[in-house]
Amino acid sequence: MQRRNIPINPFGQEQVLYDNPEFPSIVYNTLIVANSVGYIPLHWHDEWQMQIVEAGSVEMHVQGDVHTIEAGQGLWIHSGVVHEAYALTDDARYRCWNIQPDLLPRFLRQCFEQRGPKHGYVLLTDDGWQQECLAIIAHAMASDDEFTIYDDFVKVAHLLCTHAEKGVTKPAFDERLKELLAYIHIHYTEKLTLDELAGVVYLSTSETIRLFKKSLQMTPFQYILKYRLEKSRELLQHTDEAVTDIALEIGFSSASYFIQKFKEAYDITPKQFQML
């Protein structure tokens, strides 16, 4: 299943839609440039996600780190870990398997949290135990049998517990950042100030900037700009509104500044993009 848009709620959480809600597991095919904004935007989810890059090169931003993942390699991402993906090549494509960790019995979930990976994600290269893990993930992705998928799910959990760097899992996603993202996603069309954002989570302005830089490698206003531009692409693709109207609708003070920032981000003007 190829998606052009990822359903993300105001808190940045992906709303994963299952074919069978009684067995919360699903596989997606992702050609990154086919997404409506040209990349996979910042999000997180309750599910574990296991990825295998099938073609090209992917730049994955996960939990504040940046990694290049080549074809044949992959990634395991824990529940609640924020991530986004960019295509380093036009053909960059990966498959991802989302599955609810609650399918594991409570005792095994507790064992995993105590003995599992130290960080909220694990890079999977094409050698050693990681190659075995990738093979199991690929096997699960190719199956539509619930017993097979569940068996592979447990095998992946066991491999991660046995071989990945041990320790207490790194905090997935600061709850204060979730609140700030939700506030921005609701109020992005308005004029936002740093004092206003800091007040949402009862931090100082300097602490608010540090929180964004630590988690997202950008300032609050860089994130607001990025989010407004993402929203502008959606409007340009799906409406015939004038560029000036769109600029004002998404929170820019002038059309000229919007055009400048859009071209800096995407190497094309909003009007040219709308005509594609």
pLDDT tens-digit series, residues 183-229? 999 999 999 999 999 999 999 999 999 999 888 889 999 999 999 99
Residue 44 is encoded by which pair of tokens?
């997180």
Cα separation, 57 vs 59, whole angstroms: 7
Q: How far is CA 56 from each of CA 43, 97, 199, rounded to the nearest angstrom?
A: 22, 19, 43
pLDDT tens-digit series, residues 85-102? 999 999 999 999 999 999
| For residue 168, pLDDT beyond 50 | no
Q: How far is CA 24 from each of CA 21, 103, 115, 154, rounded to the nearest angstrom?
A: 5, 8, 24, 14
What per-residue confidence (pLDDT) applies to 173? 59
| For residue 170, pLDDT beyond 60 | no
Provide the angle, in degrees to the nearest 10, between the axes of the packed helices 205-216 and 220-238: 60
- Total number of residues shown for the chain: 276
**Tell me, which fold does domain 175-274 have in CATH?**
Arc Repressor Mutant, subunit A (1.10.10)
| For residue 172, pLDDT beyond 80 | no
The yes or no reply on domain 25-163 and CATH 1.25.50.10 is no
Judge if pTM exceeds 0.85: no
Under a CB-based contact definition with an 8 Å cutoff, are residues 175 and 11 in contact? no
What per-residue confidence (pLDDT) applies to 164? 78
Every domain of the chain and the residues it spans: 25-163, 175-274
